[in-house]
A = this chain, B = another copy of it.
Amino acid sequence: MIKKDNQYKFAVIATDIVIFSVKDEELNVLLIEMGKKPFKGLWAVPGGLVKPTKTVDSSAKRNLHNMIKMKDVYLEQLYTFGKIDRDPYGRVVSVAYFAIVPDSGIHLQTVKHDTSVDWFPISRLPKLAYDHGEIIHAACERLRAKLTYTNIMYCLLPEEFTLSELQKRYEIVLYKKLDKRNFRKKIGAFNLVKKTDKKTLGKPHRPANLFQFSKKRPEIIPLF
């Protein structure tokens, strides 16, 4: 086993999870309000220490499920933050992950809240603890990149959706307007979605067809 030499007995490993969803037409992240000094009143992404008996991945998964009671949430390792003074309590190396939750998983009832927990749009984040600003920034970049060259948008939408809703999501996340006809052409060319026989009802205008994703596994496709 590990040598008892003090030099090697230093490290604490944590995982931090940036949980994304779309709310009110904007990309949001889930944050927790800190209850103790020195960051009391600031907000942080969910996370926790990695126990000796657990893999880093499983620790991330557990932290995610503590916040979001849902199966099959997309979770991906992002980057490891290893500066010495990033945590004032001591040397903590953090392996950051990001997760994507669809609208339907957004209900905060599904969240245990011993402290305050809330969604924040990424354009209006509160004061953040630790280096979590940096972590969230890196996560946004990665999410955006992944959405342009993979099909992981399926993680961000409910089971059924209209093509306009799908387009809207891409516009929100990529920060740019897309042409409706070209958009539908591309979606069609990649067999990204399949039509259901349902339509939206009760909206004050022409009903839209509802669609599902044809594949719910990550795949590389050159979308944009």
Contacts and interface: CB of A to CB of B under 8 A. Distances in A.
A143 interface: no
Interface residues of A, number: 30
A140 interface: no
A192 B200 CA distance: 51
Interface stretch (A84-92, A103-111, A124-132): A84-92
A82 interface: yes
B80 A2 contact: no
A91 to B, nearest CB: 6
A77 B8 CA distance: 22
A11 interface: yes
B52 A91 contact: yes
B2 A54 contact: no
Best-surrounded residue of A2, A51, A79, A92 (most CB of chain B within 10 A) = A2
